[in-house]
Structure 1
Amino acid sequence: MGRQRVLAWVAGAVSGVLASALAMPAVAVADASPARLGGVRFATFNASLNRDTEGQLLKDLSTPDDPQARKVAEVLQRVRPDVVLLNEFDFVEGGRAVDAFRRNYLEIGQGGAQPVHYPHVWTAPVNTGVPSGFDLNKDGRVGGGDDAWGFGLFPGQYGMVVLSRHPIDAAAARTFQNFRWRDMPGALLPDDASTPRPNDWYSDEVLARFPLSSKSHWDLPVRVGGRSVHFLVSHPTPPTFDGPEDRNGRRNHDEIRFWADYVRPGRADYVYDDAGRRGGLPVGAPFVVAGDQNADPLDGDSVDGAINQLRHAPRVIDLFPVSTGAAEAAVLQGGANARHRGPSFLDTGDFDDRSVGNLRVDWVLPSRPLLPLRSGVFWPPREDPLSRLNDASDHHLVWVDLLVPGGR
């Protein structure tokens, strides 16, 4: 099937989904309980719960009075995912910030919503803000966020947290924080055009330590009844804030490629985790890839085809989650949105309309044999009372309801 026919088919299919979504109130979609259909709701939310100074997030969450945290909590209480990845949640040793968020926000009803309880939590160190000791951006100075292994002003800024109603098999969890970028075969290492050597923006000394993950990659087996579903989560670097060498765009591409290889039999022999175990996902194991991938299929600054590596991987299902709020925002905000090729009702991030516009960058991609029921993006239109929550973050929560064969 030719490219134009494929795009036409996708547009028609998604238009049908949007028509169905428009037929029901946005609040009803957001509040619908997956338990009624026997499904499990997986979600990702870049919650922007990051702060500019170390320790500030813990301070903010230690009382129930932070306005932004209250909105983030209410979004979670309205959508009520069973398993959710929170991106941009500063890492604090011992999980103290996560515990404070649960105790002071999630477990207290916000804005008329019911409390939500997550007995199972996973968080771990990330590469953001960890000093490299090298001049990675080649500005003549060593230090600052650009010279950390992942951009950040202090270790753990822009971290990750997984909250779950279902047990997380910690003994079987795998982390890939220290996997080196150069160990990926065919890695898109950036090139310094001022030298004759290829792919030499970073020296051999730098590449001997340079991690692929700007934050981390985690494979967390979540036990749903008698079945494990591998929750594959990450937050690739934005493909911007660099120069013609495109060092961030190339890293974003390969951070996404990591999961595409990990789930494809025979493609992950090169992978090793932080405990030294090699190889990818067991053949046939069900999985859900989730996270702010910072890549849109058609618009934005990511390397062409970056997200399609994952969308087109074997067994991966794209449910095309939609929202009426995103479609409305693109029209009202105009600017770069008017030049976009992708359908606006799939957008998940609300960015600068003068230069970037709104994009589909947050993804929840399940695999067969999981059975998709429905999906959505929490982006209420202006007439909806819950639109007051749209400024909780510049991203919007994406959710997918799934039946887990053998899991109930």
Structure 2
Amino acid sequence: MFTQLSRDGPHGMAESSAVRIRVLLACVLLGVVTAQPATAEPRKAGPSKVRFSTFNASLNRSAAGQLVADLSTPDNAQARKVAEVIQVDRPDVLLINEFDYVPDNRAADLFRANYLRRGQNGGKPIDYPYAFTAPVNTGVPSGMDFNRDGRADGPDDAYGFGLFPGQYGMLVLSKYPIDLDRVRTFQKFRWQDMPGALLPDDPATPAKADWYSPRQLEVFRLSSKSHWDVPVRINRTTVHFLVSHPTPPSFDGAEDRNGTRNHDEIRLWADYITGKAGYLYDDKGKRGGLERGAKFVIAGDYNSDPVDGDSVPGAIQQLLDSRRLIDLKPGSRGAVEAARTQGGANLTHGADPRHDTGDFNDNAPGNLRVDYVLPSYGLIPLHSEVFWPVAGSPLARLNDTSDHHLVGVTLLALAR
């Protein structure tokens, strides 16, 4: 359980003075007592504390159907650990990255029934009545030689890197109703249709932005998985949960095809929330971005650190510097401890390790901040943290659940 408004809570979250003042003013105006635990269940009327979290849980598998097989019984060790992390954090609305897509919510239903609704290690079960998942680009054959190895097959030639369609998919779970009729997905939006797109360039030729041929660009999709706008109804307020999982900006060459794609996958949401998305079309053909004044939360594994790592400079700043977003800079003591004890590239990083969310190779790139939960103005932030227990904590045994750590933000959602 997390303690609100603490200077340095169980997982090491330090709040800024600006956020603290904003919270106190809001609570005075609304008459809200701020000492309630973050695990409080949703209320039907009045101001509600609502927790949004993101977790790259590494529940992807190497073959189609394997995740369903693993979740069909309640004794898969990794899935039990993932469920325990979620039961400790107790988010109201959750994005799970790297959860293989299976039609008809089959894998999601098995995970909810066999793991989340069963207390793990004596923990309290958690129930999510609402779930959303949809097809993604990973593993979907393109018929094109995108990586120029002379073959038009394999995971690197799919619309998104993957061994089979749906690998590394996404899942949204919610205690609140999801407005399925208003969900927007951007799986098939073409990269070349983004004005000023950072299309990768072959440095061996004088032409610009020519890594992909015109024929390839006619079919190349921007999103390596997908981008989803999932409206969640919280009391009488709709909050748009904007989720995605941009490609890592690595595993390529001098053309930086993954780095530039990562940048523009992040840009899609930056344009979507700021009225610059007239060019965008979703998978149903609807054009444009988010309506003016809408409340939203952007979440996911964005594979981009503000300072360190291989991102195109300024990639994640497209969101962090947005005037429509609040960055609470969640952190943990566990991340600081890990950077110090693991050494390697962590010792040369310029960013504060407190905010790291990914525990990666110590030599390169080291630990990074790549997972984000970013609420819009109009939602009142209460607190945030990264679930990364220190080595001496009883929960430290959960640190190897994934190479990413869960990030959570608790907000005050007004009933209006």
TM-score band, normalised by shorter chain? over 0.9
1:195 aligns with one of 172, 185, 205? 205
Given that residues 5 and 383 in structure 2 are in contact (C-alpha distance below 8 angstroms), is that contact kept between their aligned partners in structure 1?
no
Separation (CA, whole Å) in 2 of partners of 1:304 and 1:348: 19
SS at match of 1:39: strand
Given that residues 34 and 41 in structure 1 are in contact (C-alpha distance below 8 angstroms), is that contact kept between their aligned partners in structure 2?
no
Separation (CA, whole Å) in 2 of partners of 1:165 and 1:316: 24
Separation (CA, whole Å) in 2 of partners of 1:336 and 1:19: 31
Separation (CA, whole Å) in 2 of partners of 1:354 and 1:26: 26
Given that residues 249 and 303 in structure 2 are in contact (C-alpha distance below 8 angstroms), is that contact kept between their aligned partners in structure 1?
yes
Residue 330 of structure 1 corresponds to which residue in structure 2? Answer: 339
Give the 3 Å change call, closer, same or farther, for CA 27–202 of structure 1 in structure 2: closer
Unaligned runs of 5+ residues in structure 1 are: 1-16
Separation (CA, whole Å) in 2 of partners of 1:397 and 1:218: 20
Is 1:351 the counterpart of 2:357 in the alignment?
A: no
| Deviation digits for residues 184-237 of structure 1 (CA, Å, limit 9, x no counterpart) | 000000011222221011111111111110000000110000010000000000
| Deviation digits for residues 92-115 of structure 1 (CA, Å, limit 9, x no counterpart) | 111111111011100100011100
Counterpart residue identity of residue 7, structure 2: S
2:413 aligns with one of 393, 404, 407? 404
Residue 311 of structure 1 corresponds to which residue in structure 2? Answer: 320
Is 1:302 the counterpart of 2:287 in the alignment?
A: no
Residue 104 of structure 1 corresponds to which residue in structure 2? Answer: 114
Matches within 5 A, 1:369-380: 369-380=378-389
Is 1:43 the counterpart of 2:53 in the alignment?
A: yes
SS at match of 2:400: helix
Is 1:33 the counterpart of 2:39 in the alignment?
A: yes
Matches within 5 A, 1:6-405: 20-21=7-8, 24-26=9-11, 32-35=38-41, 38-265=48-275, 267-405=276-414
Aligned length: 387
Given that residues 26 and 384 in structure 1 are in contact (C-alpha distance below 8 angstroms), is that contact kept between their aligned partners in structure 2?
no
Separation (CA, whole Å) in 2 of partners of 1:28 and 1:357: 21
SS at match of 1:205: helix
Instruction: Tell me the CA shift for residue 367 of structure 1.
Output: 0.4
Instruction: Tell me the CA shift for residue 322 of structure 1.
Output: 0.7
TM-score normalised by the chain length of structure 2: 0.91
Give the 3 Å change call, closer, same or farther, for CA 18–205 of structure 1 in structure 2: farther
Could you tell me the percent identity over the aligned residues?
A: 63
| Deviation digits for residues 53-100 of structure 1 (CA, Å, limit 9, x no counterpart) | 111111000011110000000000000000000000001111111111
Unaligned runs of 5+ residues in structure 2 are: 15-36
Given that residues 27 and 386 in structure 1 are in contact (C-alpha distance below 8 angstroms), is that contact kept between their aligned partners in structure 2?
no
Given that residues 38 and 51 in structure 2 are in contact (C-alpha distance below 8 angstroms), is that contact kept between their aligned partners in structure 1?
no
Separation (CA, whole Å) in 2 of partners of 1:101 and 1:225: 26
Counterpart residue identity of residue 39, structure 2: S
- What CA RMSD, in Å, does the superposition of the two structures yield over aligned residues? 1.8
Instruction: Tell me the CA shift for residue 28 of structure 1.
Output: 11
Instruction: Tell me the CA shift for residue 363 of structure 1.
Output: 0.3
Comparing 369-378 with 139-148, greater Cα deviation is found at 139-148
| Deviation digits for residues 318-337 of structure 1 (CA, Å, limit 9, x no counterpart) | 00101111011000100000
Separation (CA, whole Å) in 1 of partners of 2:232 and 2:89: 19
SS at match of 2:319: helix
Separation (CA, whole Å) in 2 of partners of 1:34 and 1:100: 25
| Deviation digits for residues 236-283 of structure 1 (CA, Å, limit 9, x no counterpart) | 000000000000000000000000000002x11101101111110000
Counterpart residue identity of residue 33, structure 1: T
Separation (CA, whole Å) in 1 of partners of 2:202 and 2:254: 9
Counterpart residue identity of residue 215, structure 2: E
